[in-house]
Structure 1
Amino acid sequence: MILRTLVLLCSVLVVNVGWAQERTITVVGDKWCPFNCSDDPGDRGLLVERAAAALADANIGMRYLELPWSRAIAEVRAGEIDAIVGAGPEETPDFHFPARPLAIARHSFFTLPSSDWQYTGLESLAQVRLGVIQDYSYGTLFNDYIQPHKNDEQRIVVLRGNDVLPRLIEMLRLGRIDAFVAEERVLAYHFSSKSMPNPLRNAGLASEENLYIAFSPALGDGVTLASLLSQQLPQLSITSQYD
Structure 2
Amino acid sequence: MKIKNNIFLVIFLINSLFINKVFAEEKAILNFEGDNWCPYTCEEKSEVGKGIFLEITELIFKNQNYTIHFEMMPWARVLKRGERGEIDGIIGAYKEGRNKFIFPNEPILQSTNSFLVRNDSSWNFKDFNSLKSIHLGLILGYIYGGNLENIRKNAQKISESGGENAIQKNLARLNGKEIDATLDEHNVLVYYINKMELNKSMKFVGDLGNKSGLYLGFPKEKPNSQKLADIFDKGFIKLKKSSEYKKILNKYGITGKN
Aligned in 2, Cα 1:200/1:53: closer, same or farther, shift over 3 Å?
same
RMSD: 2.2
* Percentage identity across paired residues of the two chains: 26
Indicate yes or no: 2:196 matched with 1:217.
no
Deviation at 1:200, TM superposition (A): 1.0
Asked if residue 124 in structure 1 is aligned to residue 127 in structure 2, the reply is no
For 2:101, what is the secondary structure of its paired residue? coil
- Report if aligned partners of 1:29, 1:36 keep a CA contact under 8 Å in 2: yes
Shift of 1:144: 2.3
Query: Are positions 1:97 and 2:103 aligned together?
Result: yes
Aligned position for 1:227: 230
Aligned length in residues: 223
Which has the larger share of helix? 2
CA distance in 2 between partners of 1:40 and 1:117 (Å): 36
Q: Is the 8 A contact 2:171 2:193 kept in 1?
A: no
- Report what 1:10 is aligned to: none
Provide the rounded CA distance (Å) in 2 between the counterparts of 1:234 and 1:180: 34
Q: Are 2:34 and 1:26 aligned?
A: no
Report the Cα distance in structure 2 between the residues aligned to 1:20 and 1:171, rounded to whole angstroms: 47
Please give the secondary structure, in 1, of the residue aligned with 2:33: strand
Q: Which of 30, 37, 41 is the aligned partner of 1:36?
A: 41
How far 1:22 moved relative to its partner?
Answer: 2.6
Q: Greater Rg, structure 1 or structure 2? A: 2
Question: 1:65 and 1:24 mapped to 2: Cα distance?
Answer: 13
Alignment of 1:74-153 (within 5 A): 74-146=80-152, 148=153
CA contact (8 A) 2:102 2:220 kept: yes
Gaps of 5+ in 1: 1-16
8 Å contact 2:193–2:199 — kept in the other structure? yes
The alpha-carbon deviation at position 31 of structure 1 amounts to 0.2
For residues 38 and 97 of structure 2, the distance between their equivalents in structure 1, rounded to whole angstroms, comes to 19
Contact 1:39 / 1:64 at 8 angstroms: preserved in 2?
no
Mapping of residues 6-21 of structure 1, within 5 Å: 21=26
Residue 81 of structure 1 aligns to which amino acid in structure 2? Answer: I
SS in 2 for 1:65: strand
Unaligned residue ranges in structure 2 (runs of 5+): 1-21
- Per-residue CA distance 1:106-143 (angstroms, 9 max, x = gap): 11001111111111111111111111001111113213
Q: Which moved more, 1:67-76 or 1:32-41?
A: 32-41
